[in-house]
């Protein structure tokens, strides 16, 4: 078969021949450019064989780097691709037009959802202060009440002890309706109780309320004491608002001989009209102050830390001294003073002279504020000094060392020191005492220059020199 001439080749063969010719041309051009460089490097390396080993290693590393760079540029030149460098990229790269408006700047991040408090589905059993059930444990009430509910026992999940009695926790919102339907059984179980749902109140403190008011019945004048029923009707007539709960404050109830009393008055949360600052009740001007809601601080009654006692697995501690070896019922004085002496308590938190549940403790959590470690150390330092003073003023026969860190050992159980009149505290900066002198002073040579010369007549001394 006859071979076709160049003019009759197809497009693929033509493109292949053109690429081969161009590659051959660029290879010969690259040979002219890079060949002198390669020859120079090879010649220089061959003439430096007499160098020291460390110099030869440095030169070899440099030559290898230069050879690799030259090989990379040579290959790029033959293939027709320009070697990319930072200068070439910045020189020939197209400039991107920056948008006038930044869309990301106007994109607002979605606000985190505020976790709403769960509804309180508990059913409260209000008991008098002297009710026998208040002395029983919540689990005993739970197990006994479930046996009384029979087929509806699964509706009761838990029983919690509260300040006013107990709270019945349903297993579901539907179970709350089941427990409410069993109010008669629950009332017969507790006897003398009030059962109601949880409700949010708007609370006021009304002060300067007279303890007794006068009335005339059948022509006879008499004084009757003010009770919650009488006060509720008086407030309803004056403000047109019906209170849902009225109770006397603990301070007022503890001082019945005072001329006036103070009361907590609670209204439903939907009450729109607030009470005025001054109310005229029983012909007397009283003062009403709104009570804002405070964050409840939960304190464990087992270890006295700041968490719920139902989930506490720590060892029980004494409320008075913080010891884990006994509880408050087994607390005894380790002081050698005679009875009825009582050593002051020691707070497990601030180490001050008060129990662990003292409301005014300086390290008691308040809202979202937290003390730093340095602040805690300073508070414990001052409270420890106050505890030492309280022990001295209380007549404790031994002074106990006080630490700044919480330890499971109570203050009464710490090793004692001999009694002294000075308050011992590790936080006080102690200056080292001066070095005690030895019994016999060191023997040194006499310094004649420090002795006082006897007074002499200078003329007599001159005569002695002449003689």
Q: Which pLDDT score, from 0 to 100, does residue 264 have?
A: 92
For 363-410, what is each residue's pLDDT tens digit? 888 877 788 888 899 999 999 999 888 888 888 875 444 433 344 444
pTM over the 0.85 mark? no
Q: Which two tokens stand for residue 457?
A: 């007549």
Candidates 168, 221, 213, 223; CA nearest to 190 is 168
More confident residue, 92 or 120: 120
Alpha carbons 302 and 319: distance in angstroms, whole number? 9
Residue 443 — pLDDT band, cuts 50, 70, 90?
Answer: low
Cis ω before 463 (30° cut-off from 0)? no
- Provide the 10 A C-beta neighbour count for residue 279: 20
8 A C-beta contact, residue 391 and residue 352? no
User: Residue 105: is its pLDDT beyond 80?
Assistant: no
Burial group, residue 121, by CB count within 10 angstroms (0-12, 13-18, 19+): middle
8 A C-beta contact, residue 387 and residue 344? yes
Query: What ranges make up the beta strands (E) of 120-200?
Result: 123-126, 156-162, 165-170, 194-197
For 224-234, what is each residue's pLDDT tens digit? 999 999 999 99
Q: Which pLDDT score, from 0 to 100, does residue 1 have?
A: 44
Distance, C-alpha 458 to centroid of its chain: 88
Most confident of 79-83, 94-98, 153-157: 153-157
For 209-221, what is each residue's pLDDT tens digit? 999 998 888 888 8
Q: Which residue's entry shows tokens 């404790």?
A: 396
8 A C-beta contact, residue 275 and residue 288? yes
Distance, C-alpha 291 to centroid of its chain: 27
User: Residue 275: is its pLDDT beyond 50?
Assistant: yes
User: Residue 327: is its pLDDT beyond 70?
Assistant: yes
Q: Mean pLDDT, to the nearest integer, of 277-301?
A: 85
For 328-361, what is each residue's pLDDT tens digit? 888 887 777 777 778 889 999 999 999 998 888 9
8 A C-beta contact, residue 124 and residue 165? yes
Alpha carbons 231 and 248: distance in angstroms, whole number? 11
């Amino acid at each position: 078969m006859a071979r076709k001439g160049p003019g009759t080749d197809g497009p693929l063969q033509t493109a292949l021949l053109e690429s081969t010719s161009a590659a051959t041309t660029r290879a010969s051009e690259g040979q002219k450019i890079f060949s002198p460089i390669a020859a120079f490097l090879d010649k220089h390396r061959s003439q430096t064989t007499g160098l020291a080993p460390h110099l030869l290693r440095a030169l070899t590393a440099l030559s290898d780097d230069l050879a690799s760079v030259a090989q990379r540029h040579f290959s790029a030149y033959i293939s027709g691709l320009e070697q990319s460098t930072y200068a070439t990229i910045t020189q020939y790269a197209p400039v991107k037009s920056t948008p006038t408006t930044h869309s990301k700047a106007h994109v607002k991040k979605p606000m985190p959802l505020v976790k709403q408090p769960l509804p309180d589905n508990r059913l409260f059993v209000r008991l008098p202060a002297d009710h026998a059930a208040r002395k029983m444990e919540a689990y005993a009430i739970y197990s006994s009440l479930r046996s009384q509910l029979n087929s509806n026992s699964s509706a009761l999940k838990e029983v919690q002890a509260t300040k006013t009695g107990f709270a019945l926790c349903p297993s579901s919102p539907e179970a709350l309706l089941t427990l409410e339907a069993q109010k008669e059984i629950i009332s017969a179980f507790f006897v003398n109780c009030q059962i109601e749902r949880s409700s949010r109140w708007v609370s006021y403190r009304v002060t300067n309320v007279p303890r007794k008011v006068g009335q005339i019945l059948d022509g006879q004048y008499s004084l009757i004491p003010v009770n919650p029923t009488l006060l509720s009707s008086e407030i309803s007539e004056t403000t047109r608002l019906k209170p849902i709960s009225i109770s006397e404050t603990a301070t007022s109830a503890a001082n019945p001989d005072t001329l006036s009393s103070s009361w907590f008055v609670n209204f439903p949360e939907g009450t729109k009209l607030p009470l005025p600052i001054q109310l005229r009740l029983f012909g007397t001007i009283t003062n009403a102050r709104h009570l804002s809601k405070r964050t409840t601080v939960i304190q464990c009654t087992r270890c006295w830390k700041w968490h719920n006692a139902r989930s506490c697995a720590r060892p029980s501690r004494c409320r008075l001294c913080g010891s884990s070896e006994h509880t408050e019922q087994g607390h005894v004085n380790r002081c050698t003073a005679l009875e009825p002496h009582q050593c002051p308590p020691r707070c497990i938190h601030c180490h001050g002279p008060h129990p662990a549940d003292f409301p005014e403790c300086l390290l008691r959590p308040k809202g979202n504020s937290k003390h730093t470690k340095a602040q805690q150390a300073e508070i414990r330092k001052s409270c420890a000094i106050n505890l030492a003073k309280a022990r001295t003023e209380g007549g404790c026969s031994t002074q106990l060392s006080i630490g700044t860190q919480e330890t499971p050992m109570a203050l009464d159980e710490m090793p004692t020191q001999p009694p002294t009149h000075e308050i011992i505290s590790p936080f006080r900066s102690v200056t080292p005492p001066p070095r005690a002198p030895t019994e016999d002073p060191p023997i040194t040579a006499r310094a004649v220059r420090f002795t006082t010369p006897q007074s002499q007549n200078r003329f007599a001394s001159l005569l002695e020199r002449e003689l």
